[in-house]
Amino acid sequence: MRILVISDVHSNLAALDAVLLDAGQWDMTWCLGDVIGYGPQPNECIERLRAMPHVCVVGNHDLASVGRIDTSLFNPDAKAAALWTARQLTARNRAFIEQLPERYAEGDVTLVHGSPRHPVWEYVTSCSIADANWGHFETKYCLVGHSHVPIMYHKGSASRCEETAPDVGRRQSLSPHTIVNPGGVGQPRDADPRASYALLDLPDAVIEFRRVDYDVGRTQELMRKAGLPPRLASRLSIGW
Ligand code: ZN
């Protein structure tokens, strides 16, 4: 089975559509949360996802956009975007976000937005944080999003954690005890503005990280028209 792994679409339909085109054929989409927030097309992104076989876990921006977490926890730009998103959502799409689980496990894989220890809020951005999380999932692999940075953490021999930046475009086998972040589709933050995602073949556990260009200017133009904070649009150009 071929799985399309996406995270942090953030209402960026141009980026999502570029990923769907680039991915070719796949059987199931696994989405690691933050479908909405920041970007200009929340309903369209949710509807793309709903139209394909998928599993999705909930992210902090999803929850903020349906009033399930307090937006005072966000910086002013993120808060403004969450409040704008809340006003755009159709009743049906709001209901879709409200039913998303915080975690999902199937076969050898656990899915969460942040970390297995704190699914909504914690960023897995170092070996010390990964080390605190090995005991919080029972499957061989855990897929996370939230940081918008593609990366892998692996608990190797003698329980030593190894951090690996992905080799984009190369298929590689995952070893058991690995936490994988496919990077962000709609707002990459690793100084590369291209949309980031992964294809995962199961049960072989072979993964390929991919990057794809999309029309950043189109998303920025829609953000300007919507009156979303200018900084949220400009950051897309530099992948931050
Ligand atoms: Zn995010």
Alpha carbon of 224 to ligand 1 centroid (Å): 20
Between CA 186 and CA 37 the distance in angstroms is 10
- pLDDT at 2 exceeding the cut of 90: yes
Phi-psi region of 108 (alpha: psi -120 to 50; beta: other; left: phi over 0): alpha
Question: What is the mean predicted confidence (pLDDT) over 1-28?
Answer: 98
Closest CA to 5 of 202, 204, 213: 202
Strand, coil or helix: what is 57? coil
Calculate helix-pair angle for 13-23, 216-226, nearest 10 degrees: 150
Which residues make Cβ contacts (< 8 Å) with residue 86, sequence separation at least 6?
Answer: 65, 66, 67
Confidence class for position 220, pLDDT limits 50, 70, 90: very high
Strand, coil or helix: what is 159? helix
Give me the pLDDT at residue 158, please.
Answer: 84
Strand, coil or helix: what is 198? strand
* Average pLDDT, rounded, for the chain: 97
Question: What is the mean predicted confidence (pLDDT) over 132-155?
Answer: 98
Which residues make Cβ contacts (< 8 Å) with residue 55, sequence separation at least 6?
Answer: 28, 29, 30, 31, 104, 106, 111
Alpha carbon of 68 to ligand 1 centroid (Å): 16
Alpha carbon of 60 to ligand 1 centroid (Å): 7
Alpha carbon of 34 to ligand 1 centroid (Å): 5
Percent of the chain with pLDDT over 70: 100
Alpha carbon of 113 to ligand 1 centroid (Å): 8
Give me the pLDDT at residue 159, please.
Answer: 83
**87-109 pLDDT, tens digit each:** 999 999 999 999 999 999 999 99
The gap from C-alpha 220 to its chain's centroid, in whole angstroms, comes to: 20
Alpha helices in the chain (DSSP H): 13-23, 42-50, 60-65, 76-88, 91-98, 127-131, 216-226, 230-238
Q: Are 143 and 180 in contact (CB under 8 A)?
A: yes
Question: What is the mean predicted confidence (pLDDT) over 155-179?
Answer: 94
**32-88 pLDDT, tens digit each:** 999 999 999 999 999 999 999 999 999 999 999 999 999 998 999 999 999 999 999
Q: Which residues are 209's β-sheet partners?
A: 198
**172-197 pLDDT, tens digit each:** 999 999 999 999 999 999 999 999 99
- pLDDT at 156 exceeding the cut of 90: no
Alpha carbon of 38 to ligand 1 centroid (Å): 9
Alpha carbon of 8 to ligand 1 centroid (Å): 5
Between CA 208 and CA 169 the distance in angstroms is 6
Alpha carbon of 118 to ligand 1 centroid (Å): 15
Alpha carbon of 174 to ligand 1 centroid (Å): 24
Structure tokens at 55: 């599993």
Give me the pLDDT at residue 44, please.
Answer: 98
